[in-house]
A = this chain, B = another copy of it.
């Protein structure tokens, strides 16, 4: 017999891996249980209900993603908007990050449908993204700092949409095209 807390942690990790692999497609309690190699009965012993199951797994995923992203720009380093966008955009199609971004789009969509627990999760994750960008954004005080940060986050997230709809190749090329955005004819 293993303590409930240990199992919870192990199951959480397995669920996170499963979500990253399969997205929010197969997320019935029975499928999640199979992915975590426990019975569905046990899932609801470790967690209160399905929302908590998904919520805990998503929280862990968010933390992992934050860790990955944190490495992209040095502590205290600050970049101009397009430079920061370029740096962040290059992450989206990297093999370690791609599953996170694809899942992120599905979570935001679930939040849009009002499906618990995703509204809260999406809001928290988005706030994290915005804070990270703002912290590394070099821009004069006259500009709406938060709005510029939001636009950068939007562009990065949009790359994930391109990735989903057309594959990573176009998404990667789009990211590389960021320096051309500022150029006129």
Interface of A with B (CB < 8 Å)? 23-25, 78, 80-83, 85, 102, 105-106, 108-115, 122-123, 125-126, 138-140, 143-144, 146-148, 150-159, 161-162, 164-166, 170-171, 173-178, 180-185
Could you tell me if A170 and B147 are in contact, using CB atoms closer than 8 angstroms?
Answer: yes
Instruction: Give how many copies assemble into the complex.
Output: 2
Q: A25-B113, A154-B155, A162-B153 are in contact. Are A139 and B108 (CB under 8 A)?
A: no
Which of B106, B112, B144 interacts with A177 by CB under 8 Å? B144
Q: Which residue of B lies closest to A141 (CB)?
A: B185
The 6 closest A-B pairs by CB, nearest first: A154-B158, A158-B158, A109-B109, A150-B174, A147-B173, A147-B177
Could you tell me if A183 and B113 are in contact, using CB atoms closer than 8 angstroms?
Answer: no
Docked Cα-Cα span, A115 to B183, in Å, equals: 39
Interface of A is mostly: helix
Q: List 27 A-B contacts (CB under 8 A).
A: A23-B113, A80-B185, A81-B180, A82-B181, A82-B182, A83-B184, A105-B161, A106-B112, A108-B165, A109-B109, A123-B166, A126-B162, A138-B184, A139-B184, A143-B177, A146-B173, A147-B176, A148-B177, A150-B177, A151-B177, A151-B178, A154-B161, A154-B171, A155-B155, A155-B158, A157-B158, A157-B161
